Amino acid sequence: MALTAYQQQVQRLLNDEASQFFNLADLTVYINNARNDIARQSSCIIISANLALTSSTQFYALSSVTAPTGCSAPINARSIRISTAVLEQRGWQWFTNYYLNGSNASSSGSPTLWAQQSQGTLGNIWFWPTPNSSFTAIVDAVWTPIALVTDSTTEAIPYPWTDAVPYFAAYQALMQAQRYQDASQMLSLYNQFMRGMRLGVTPDWLPGNFPPLRPMQSGIDASLTLGGPTAKPASSGEGSVG
């Protein structure tokens, strides 16, 4: 969706189509904040991209992965392969205990293992053994989108996730205006849209392959979050088997 279309939708939600109370520059900031929140929560931008490995260099900044069109930075590596060989992923603590210490630390060759150190855009990807030549690693990563500046800026957020953008942007605008009750209602609508998107795009087959949503909850009733009302614990003996 183009920037102007987003702006118009946010203005309609705010009942401010003449920009009397909210200027377009601020709305653009809120729109881009919303797009980043959706990308983080839903992992809706998953794209494989190249990472150039060089001889004798064991770790690489996650941000070194070549950014696809419309993407800003990867925030999480999901899998890595070199040619047709899929590298085995290890947790960072396990990796550092067994492959960065002791006799394994000095090994070199074609990498077979990898681990991510730290989270988000400042993360690093470590390989073992240390590359002994140049390789091209294909990194399947979760990305954040570049900021929309004009209508010609590429939108990396795929439909139907774009439908939720105006609601989070309107929520931030209402928070800035200190209209907290209206903001709470808008945030609950955003969470409902996000839940609907996840249900709509997640296939019935192996749904566990897709991440659950973590709804924003500040300032809203817990019963309005994606998990629904808090379940009432069963009384003693209630629902017991046998």
**How far apart, in Å, do the first and last CA atoms of the chain sit?**
56
Position 194 scores a pLDDT of 93
Distance, in Å, from the CA atom of 91 to the CA atom of 72, rounded to the nearest integer, reads 25
Position 200 scores a pLDDT of 86
Give yes or no for a cis peptide into 211 (omega within 30° of 0). no
Position 212 scores a pLDDT of 65
Position 101 scores a pLDDT of 87
Position 207 scores a pLDDT of 60
Q: Report which of 179, 227, 197 is spatially closest to residue 37, judged by C-alpha positions.
A: 197
Mean pLDDT by 10 residues, the chain (242 residues): 97 96 97 97 96 97 96 95 96 92 86 95 95 97 97 96 97 97 97 90 69 57 40 41 38
Position 138 scores a pLDDT of 98
What letter would DSSP give residue 148?
Answer: P
What letter would DSSP give residue 121?
Answer: G
- Residue 97 neighbours by CB under 8 Å, 6+ apart: none
Position 102 scores a pLDDT of 76
Dihedral angle computed from the Cα positions of residues 164, 168, 173 and 178, in that order, rounded to the nearest 10 degrees: 140
Distance, in Å, from the CA atom of 62 to the CA atom of 175, rounded to the nearest integer, reads 33
Position 11 scores a pLDDT of 98
Max CA pair span of the chain: 69
CB 75 within 8 A of CB 142: yes
